[in-house]
């Protein structure tokens, strides 16, 4: 007898003949099912359950209580404290029948469950299985749905029941998450106790429209001279950090977070498939510089299942949007989207989707565009908050034309390309001036930085071209030698140690001195000492210049002349 042609009545007390016939008549009229079978269930102490046409009608106290606690469990962690009150409410009041659509696990493999019977399930809806494991609907077909699991698949077996919750996948958010290390679901993993959330927001959300945005015109300074001078990042921008493995990509993101101290910017670092030791070291560095006071770290280690790796950046973005909606400025780092794409490819292949280029599914572009487009500078009507994204992508042998790098490059507002040859030659950060670009440009620079940087990028581009051309030539004229020496000194001032952000006024002083030709007669080994002496002298003799540069970005011919005058008389 086919199960979907038979209705089942579960109870520890057999109904009377009159009750049985009444129920049978009702289901025959509504569902066209004439067979009703009574099943003894000693666990049902009060009331009964009716299973008909893949729906479960629950007239029990226990069932209602389970439904309430399941939905509360999705919302917050305070379930235990209200359990006695909930039971009293359920016991004291008359219960109504609750209709639940239930499904049956058809098959399961590698963290993916295929379920039949849930005809009304929605994409991105949370399902709950018999064991309590939760899953996320990611594939809808005519005969079954595909669900990715948020726990080990050994807790779910074929034949288990799956129940819809009616909730779209979400993330707990709130001020209490600042300074904490959490996983992809918002659970704390730093051993500092539970986190009380303020809201529960869906991890998928439409990006702000054109009317909801305003121009990106306020700088988000990294403290890195090579970036702030030539590839400025604005609040609300999406700037890609791209390069081979071990070229300093994470170091740039980390320095940027540290440089936000005291600037009222909330930082979120999303770690995807990183080693636990790497994340622990990063958190310790942030604590050492006082950056954890305004930073949230979302850690999704390589040991986690692919579904958790997939939702990690969306969870971080949801946290960022919570603060952005309050009018605050947010910086979010996705480290890195290459591994995120691999996790989504794994899920898609297990779901049986047709593979495309490099075995990635056809919507691989969309998963990153719908994530990065959520970064914006909101209009004043919406609070004026901003979320700046620094996605990281890893290349192989410097190939920026590969599938995932080209996808993300086309989505973002520019890229900072780190070159292996520069890195290993000691030029760190190893920023390639020729390929790197910021499409926001001078709009996100202060007047002081824009004028002080002047022709820096052009001079470096000419230096690189001349250096490549003259490496095969033995004889050079004096003008060419002078340009090469000038370019070398410019490259030298762009070298910067990690965890050493440079304040705005010092960046302006360094650029003014270098581009003003004051390094011409300085030996390479003395450049750093000389520039440090100039900065200290300007801070001591012209404190008003430093404060005006920091506060309003002021820069005039008089300020330039004063800096150069002090530089001329500075000795080491």
The candidate with the shortest Cα–Cα distance to 272, out of 303, 237, 249, is 303
Residue 235 among the catalytic residues:
no
Three-class DSSP labels, 110-140: CCEEEEECCCCCCCCEEEEECCCCEEEEEEE
The residues facing 10 across adjacent strands are 39, 49
Catalytic residue among 439, 489, 506, 518: 439
300 phi/psi in degrees, rounded to 5: -120, 90
Decide: helix, strand or coil at residue 531: helix
The helix, strand and coil proportions of the chain, stated in percent and rounded to the nearest 5, come to 40, 20, 35
The candidate with the shortest Cα–Cα distance to 343, out of 270, 433, 415, is 270
Tokens standing for residue 464: 């690189």
d(CA 524, CA 497): 17
293 within 8 A of 311, measured Cβ to Cβ: no
d(CA 459, CA 336): 32
DSSP 486-546: HHHHHHHHT---TT-PPPHHHHHHHHHHHHTTTTTTS-GGGHHHHHHHHHHHHHHH-HHHH
48 within 8 A of 40, measured Cβ to Cβ: no
Catalytic residue IDs: 439
């Amino acid at each position: 007898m086919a199960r979907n042609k038979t209705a089942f009545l579960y109870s520890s007390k057999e109904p009377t003949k009159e009750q049985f016939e009444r129920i049978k008549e009702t289901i025959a009229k509504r569902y066209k099912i004439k067979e009703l079978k009574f099943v003894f269930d000693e666990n049902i102490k009060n009331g009964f359950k009716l299973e008909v046409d893949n729906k479960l009608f629950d007239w029990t106290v226990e069932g209602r209580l389970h439904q309430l606690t399941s939905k509360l469990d999705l919302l917050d962690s305070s379930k235990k404290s209200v359990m006695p009150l909930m039971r009293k409410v359920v016991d004291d009041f008359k219960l109504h029948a609750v209709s639940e659509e239930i499904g049956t696990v058809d098959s399961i493999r590698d963290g993916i469950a295929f379920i039949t019977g849930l005809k009304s399930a929605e994409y991105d809806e949370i399902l709950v299985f018999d064991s309590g494991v939760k899953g996320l609907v990611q594939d809808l077909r005519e005969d079954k749905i595909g669900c990715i699991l948020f726990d080990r698949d050994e807790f779910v077996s074929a034949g288990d029941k799956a129940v819809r919750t009616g909730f779209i996948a979400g993330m707990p958010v709130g001020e209490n998450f600042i300074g904490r290390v959490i996983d992809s679901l918002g659970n704390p993993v730093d051993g500092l106790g539970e986190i009380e959330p303020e809201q529960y927001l869906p991890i998928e959300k439409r990006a702000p429209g054109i009317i909801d945005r305003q121009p990106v015109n306020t700088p988000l300074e990294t403290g890195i001279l090579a970036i702030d001078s030539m590839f400025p990042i604005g609040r609300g921008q999406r700037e890609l950090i791209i390069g081979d493995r071990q070229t300093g990509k994470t170091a740039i993101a980390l320095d940027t977070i540290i440089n936000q101290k005291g600037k009222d910017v909330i930082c979120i670092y999303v770690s995807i498939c990183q080693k636990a030791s790497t994340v622990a070291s990063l958190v310790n560095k942030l604590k050492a510089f006082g950056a954890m006071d305004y930073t949230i770290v979302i850690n999704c280690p390589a040991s986690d299942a692919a579904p958790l790796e997939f939702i990690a950046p969306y969870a971080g973005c949801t946290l960022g949007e919570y603060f952005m909606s309050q009018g605050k400025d947010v910086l979010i780092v996705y480290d890195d989207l290459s591994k995120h794409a691999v996790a989504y490819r794994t899920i898609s292949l297990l779901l049986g989707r047709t593979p495309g280029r490099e075995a990635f599914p056809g919507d691989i572009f969309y998963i990153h565009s719908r994530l990065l487009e959520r970064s914006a500078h909101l209009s004043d009507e919406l609070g004026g908050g901003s979320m700046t994204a620094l996605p990281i992508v890893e290349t192989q042998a410097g190939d920026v034309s590969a599938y995932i790098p080209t996808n993300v490059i086309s989505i973002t507002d520019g890229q900072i390309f780190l070159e292996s040859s520069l890195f290993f030659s000691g030029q760190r950060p190893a920023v390639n001036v020729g390929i790197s670009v910021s499409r926001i440009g001078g709009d996100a620079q202060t007047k002081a930085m824009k004028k002080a940087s002047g022709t820096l990028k052009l001079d470096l581009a000419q230096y690189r071209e001349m250096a490549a051309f003259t490496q095969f030539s033995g004889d050079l004229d004096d003008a060419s030698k002078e340009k090469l020496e000038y370019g070398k000194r410019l490259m030298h001032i762009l070298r910067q140690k990690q965890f050493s952000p440079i304040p705005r006024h010092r960046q302006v002083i360094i650029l003014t001195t270098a581009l003003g030709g004051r390094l011409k007669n300085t030996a390479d080994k003395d450049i750093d000492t000389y520039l440090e002496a100039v900065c200290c002298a300007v801070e001591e003799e012209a404190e008003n210049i430093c404060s005006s540069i920091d506060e309003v970005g002021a820069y005039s011919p008089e300020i330039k002349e004063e800096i150069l005058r002090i530089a001329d008389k500075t000795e080491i």
